Structures are given as C-alpha cells and as structure tokens.
Homo-oligomer: A and B are copies of this chain.
Amino acid sequence: MDTKKVEKIAKALADPNRLLILKELRKNQDCLYCSDMYEFIDLTQPSISHHLKQLSDAELVIPVKEGRYVKYHLNAAMIDQYVEFLQTLKS
C-alpha cells in the first residue's frame, strides 16, 4: 500500500462522524442507506454526503446505487490492508 493511500485512509479515519458511520455500518450488517444516517449523525445532508465521499474515496466504504437511493457497504478488505501497513511500522 503506497503512502498516498495510507494517508487518505488515515485521514478518513480521523473524524468522529466518519468513525460513527463505520461503527453503525458494522451494526447494520455492513450496509446502510444514506438516508439512514440522519438518525445517528447530527449534521445536514450535504455534510453527511461529504463524509461519505471521504470514506468512499478512501475505499473504506463502497457506494452502490439502487435507484435514487445509495447503499453504502463497509469494505473490510481495505481495513485489513491498512492494518497490514500499520504492522509494518513495528519491527
């Protein structure tokens, strides 16, 4: 995993609202509609959309369009890759 990617993932993980999204994804069998998120995040729609974009750009979540809805899936494989990188920081 290259440095750019590591940085993007680290930044995506460095925000309480985005962590909350990831936690709630896990609670919900790893997928949620955009519109579900109003229930646990106290932000406006554009802000939530912005955070989802950060997570998508980092490939920590994967957006799947379903008509006018978008379902977001957790990408556990990307977490694994990031963890692998963190392990290399240790001797």
Residues of A in contact with B (beta carbons under 8 Å apart): 3, 6-7, 10-11, 13-16, 19, 22-23, 26, 29-30, 74, 76, 79-80, 82-83, 86-91
Total identical chains: 2
Q: Is the CB of B3 within 8 A of A91?
A: no
The interface residues of chain A, by DSSP majority, are classed as helix
Given A26-B89, A74-B90, A86-B83, answer yes or no on A14-B11 (Cβ-Cβ < 8 Å). yes
Residues of B within 8 A of A76 (CB): 90-91
A14 shortest CB reach to chain B, Å: 4
Check B14 against A91 for contact (C-beta < 8 Å): no
* CB atoms of B26 and A16 under 8 A apart: no
Cβ of A3: which chain B residues have Cβ within 8 Å of it? Answer: 16, 19
Question: Are the CB atoms of B7 and A15 closer together than 8 Å?
Answer: yes
